[in-house]
Structure 1
Amino acid sequence: MRVGVVGAGAVGGYFGALLSRAGHPVTLLARGAHLEAIRREGLRVRPVQAGGGEWVAWPEATEQASGTGPQDLILFAVKSYDTEGAARAMAPWVGPSTTILCLQNGVENEGKLAALYGMGRVVPAVAYIGAERVAPGVIEHRARGELVVGEPEGGSSPRLEQLRQVLAEARIPVQVAEDIWAAKWEKMLFNVALNAASALTGATGARLVAAPRSRWLFEASVREALAVARAQGVPLDDGVVDRVVAAAAALPAVSSMYHDLVRGKPLELESFNGYVVREGERLGIPVPVNATLYGLMEARQASGRGS
C-alpha cells in the first residue's frame, strides 16, 4: 500500500515509520532540517520504555507532493490550524481510491477535508499516543500508540477492514468504533479540559484533578463541552466525565499546549475551547468556564512566551 504522511511530526512520523518498517512504500511531507535529517539518517524512533532500543525507518521524504503520484492511504496529522493549507498542498496525492485517515485532534477537521475531497475519502480516527519530535529526524515515543478508526456514518466497511488489517500488520493496535464521533468527542472533552488549564497554570493533568477547586474547573469545562456534543446528537454516556477525569489523574505531564506556548508556537486553542464557545453560542448553550479559559488563553498567547 502506497502511504503518504502529511504532518510528519511526532504522530504522523511515528505511525508512518511503523508502516515503512512493515514494508509499505511511505513518503513523508517534510521540510527544512527535518527533511534533510530523514534523507540522510532515516527517521529514528527512540522509545523511552525500559528495554526499548532506538530503531530507524527509511521512508521517502519530500517537500512537495507533486511528482510522487496518488497514494492509497494518507495519514493526515497536521495541527488543526494548518488543516486547510496542508490539505490543498497534498492534492497530487489524492486519487479516486485514496483514503485519508484523519489523525488530528478536534472534531471539525474531517469536515474541512471533506469540503475539498468528499467525505467518502475521509476516515476519522483517534490517536492515543505520547510522543514528541525531539530533534530533526528523531521521534521520542513515550507511551501508548494505538488508533481508533471508524466510518463517518457508522458501522463497518470493506475499506475499514482493509485499513485495520494493514495497520495491525504494522504492529499498530487499532480498534474499529461503531460510532467514531463519540470516540472523537471523548478525546475532545479531555483536550478541552486539560490543554488551556495546564498551559495557564503549568500544572500536570494529575495535579489539575487532585485539588478540589481545580478539579471543579476541570469537570465543569468537560460538562459544558459534553452538553455541546449531545446537542449535536453525539451519544456520549454519563460515565464519560469520570473517564476523562481518570485519564487526567493518570497523566504526570503538562499539556502539549503548554509546550507550544513556551516555545512560541501556534496553539490549537480555536479547535478546543474556541470551538466549544462558538458552538455553545450557536446552539444557545451556556459555556462560561470554557469562555473564561478561551479568553485567558487569548490574552496569554498575545502576551508572549510562557516560562
Structure 2
Amino acid sequence: MSGKKICIVGLGGVGGYLGCMLAHHLDNIYFFARGKRLESIRKNGLKLYSDEQGELTAYPKMISNNAKAMDVMDLIILSVKHFSLEQVCAEISPMVDEHTIIIPLLNGVGVSDKVYKLIGKGCVLDSLIYITSGSDENFAIHHTGSYCDIHIGYGRMGECNENILLEVQNLLRRANIACIIEDDIEAAIWTKYILNCAYSVITSYYNATTGDIRKNKTAIIQLKSLLEETCAVARRLKVNITDDLEEELLNRVLYKQSESATSSLNRDIVAGRQNELEIFSGKLLELASSCQMEIPMTDFFYRELRKR
C-alpha cells in the first residue's frame, strides 16, 4: 500500500480523526467532503485535539466533492452515517474500480454486503472501529480517551486476496492507528453492535454520559437488560459471541469507559439531527421478530426515543 492513493469519505468524529492521522503521517491522502466542512478544511486544514495525540493540523493532497476529479483510489475509508450511505456510494463510484479496497466504518451489522451491493465493485472488507471522538461547530475533531482501534476481516471479498488484510494493517500502523485482524469478524462486529444497542440507547434516553449512568441504579439495571436481549438475538442467529459477553460489556461501561463519554446517537438526538436509532433498536427488533423473539426492554426504549 506504500504510496497508494487513499481517500477518507466522511470527516466527522471518526473519519476526521483517521483523516488527520493519515494526512499527518503519510502522503497521497485525499478527503471527500461537502459544503462548509470542505471550505473550512481547504482553508484551515483539518484540526485534531486529542488526549492521546495532542494537537495536530493536517492537510490532504486534495479535498473535493467531485469524485471524478479525484479519480480512482487504491483505498477508501468510508465513515458516514447509514442514512446517507446510498447517496454517498453513488457519489464515490467513480473512485472505485475492481482493485479498490473499501473499509466501511459504519455502525450496525451487514454493512459490507450493503456497500458492495450499492457500489458493485472493489474489495469491501468487514470492519469496525472503537473510538470516542466528535467534531465541533468549526469542524475540528475532538478525541477523548487513549484508544482508536480498527478491526478488519473478510466480508464481501470482490477482488480481495489473502495479503490485503496485512497490507491494510501495516498501512494504518504507519499512521499510528491500531489495526487488529479478526479471525471471526462477524463476532467482533456483533460485539460492538450489542454494545451500541444498549449503551447508545441508554445514554440517549437519559441524555447522559457514562459517569451519569454509573450513578443511576435504574439505568444500570436497564442497561444490563438491553445487553441480555441483544446477546439473546445474536445467539439465536448463531453468531459466535462469548458466553459471558453481557457481563463483559456491562463491566466495560461501568469500569473502563471514560466518564465524560456519551454516544453519537445521544449527541444527534439532542441536536435534532438525523440519527441511527433505526440501525440499533429498529434493526434489532426486526431481527428478533424474524427469530420469533420478544425483546420488551429494547421495544420500550425504541418507542420512547422515536417520540423525540
- After TM superposition, the score normalised by the length of structure 2 is 0.90
TM-fit CA distance, 1:231 = 2.3
Contact kept? 2:116, 2:156, Cα under 8 Å: no
What secondary structure does 2:154 align onto?
Answer: coil
What secondary structure does 1:228 align onto?
Answer: helix
The answer to whether structure 1 residue 298 and structure 2 residue 298 are counterparts is no
Aligned residue runs from structure 1 range 115-194, under 5 A:
115-118=117-120, 121-143=123-145, 144-152=147-155, 157-194=162-199
Distance in structure 1 (CA, Å) of the matches to 2:262 and 2:298? 19
Contact kept? 1:11, 1:131, Cα under 8 Å: yes
User: 1:53-82: CA deviations, max 9, x gaps?
Assistant: 421111121112122111111101001221
Distance in structure 2 (CA, Å) of the matches to 1:149 and 1:18? 18
TM-fit CA distance, 1:209 = 4.9
- After TM superposition, the score normalised by the length of structure 1 is 0.91
CA distance 1:153–1:29, shift in 2 (3 Å) = closer
User: Matched residues, percent identical?
Assistant: 28
Q: Which of the residues 196, 202, 217 maps onto 1:197?
A: 202
Contact kept? 2:48, 2:57, Cα under 8 Å: yes
1:257 aligns with 265
Gapped runs of 5+ residues in structure 1? 301-307
1:89 aligns with 91
TM-fit CA distance, 1:142 = 1.3
Instruction: Kindly report structure 1 stretches of 4+ aligned residues shifted beyond 6 Å.
Output: none
The answer to whether structure 1 residue 39 and structure 2 residue 42 are counterparts is yes
User: 1:154-180: CA deviations, max 9, x gaps?
Assistant: 9x9201111111111111111111011
CA distance 1:121–1:27, shift in 2 (3 Å) = same
What secondary structure does 1:95 align onto?
Answer: coil
What secondary structure does 2:69 align onto?
Answer: coil
What secondary structure does 2:128 align onto?
Answer: strand
1:269 aligns with 277
Distance in structure 2 (CA, Å) of the matches to 1:223 and 1:178? 24
TM-fit CA distance, 1:224 = 1.3
Distance in structure 1 (CA, Å) of the matches to 2:205 and 2:111? 25
1:305 aligns with none
Distance in structure 2 (CA, Å) of the matches to 1:208 and 1:276? 22
Contact kept? 2:97, 2:121, Cα under 8 Å: no
Corresponding residue pairs, total: 297
Distance in structure 2 (CA, Å) of the matches to 1:291 and 1:27? 42
Contact kept? 1:42, 1:137, Cα under 8 Å: no
User: 1:166-218: CA deviations, max 9, x gaps?
Assistant: 11111111111101111111111111111122112123234435544322211
Which amino acid in 2 is paired with 1:65?
A: A
RMSD (Å) for aligned C-alpha atoms:
1.9
1:281 aligns with 289
The answer to whether structure 1 residue 23 and structure 2 residue 31 are counterparts is no
CA distance 1:205–1:86, shift in 2 (3 Å) = same
Aligned residue runs from structure 1 range 63-102, under 5 A:
63-102=65-104
TM-fit CA distance, 1:120 = 6.4
1:239 aligns with 244
Which amino acid in 1 is paired with 2:285?
A: V
TM-fit CA distance, 1:130 = 1.2
